[in-house]
Amino acid sequence: QAIEVRVLELTIKEFSNNACMKLDILGCHKTNCFDVNECEQNNGNCEQICINSQGSYRCACEIGFDLLTEDGQGGVHIKDGETGLNALDVIRYNQTCVPRLCANLSSPKNGLLLSTAKTFHYPMVVQFQCDFAYQMMGASHLKCMQDGSWNGTAPFCLRKLAFSYFNLKLEFFFPNK
């Protein structure tokens, strides 16, 4: 049977090394309980999506993001002095959403990756550039997609072949004598 309680504090003063402990809690027994929608207040402390259920709730993330379940996930770290479990923590387990990571990229040979980022996550777009006298083969931009993949492959840079055609016309003038 369900009982209605606002705050329940138990203080155990003496407990021997027994394998089990039985607690009997007396209270006002109810025949039914009304669900409290935790999502109505501050979105249940969920960063993106709060899903209410009978007697509980859970957080979820939008497409392209994952719920933080461990420190360092997606390059996101719990701040010093915080646990990730308290409501006032900046980053919280099972409430904070982190963008999905895409594979690391590097500059193509004879070219540059125009980004200072160490990791690449949804929905970042990166740009490539080839050195002077080299031509890009492939897309100059790539986007990190919501599933954590790139929308194409990194380009490469090929040496440009320079052909010059000159149409040379020579005229000679001889002074009249």
The per-residue pLDDT for range 14-44, each reduced to its tens digit, is 666 666 666 666 655 566 667 889 999 999 9
- What pLDDT does 21 receive? 64
- What pLDDT does 5 receive? 61
- What pLDDT does 93 receive? 96
The distance of Cα 118 from the centroid of its chain, to the nearest Å, equals 14
- What pLDDT does 156 receive? 95
Q: Which two tokens stand for residue 23?
A: 């607690």
Determine which helix (DSSP H) or strand (DSSP E) holds 57, and give its type and residue range: strand 56-60
**The amino acid at 156:** F
Q: Into which CATH architecture does domain 101-159 fall?
A: Ribbon (2.10)
Count CA atoms within 13 Å of residue 40 on its CB side.
Answer: 4
Using 70 as the pLDDT threshold, list the residues of the chain that sit under it.
Answer: 1-10, 14-33, 162-177
Question: Cα–Cα distance between 62 and 96 in angstroms, integer?
Answer: 11
CA Rg, the chain, in Å? 33
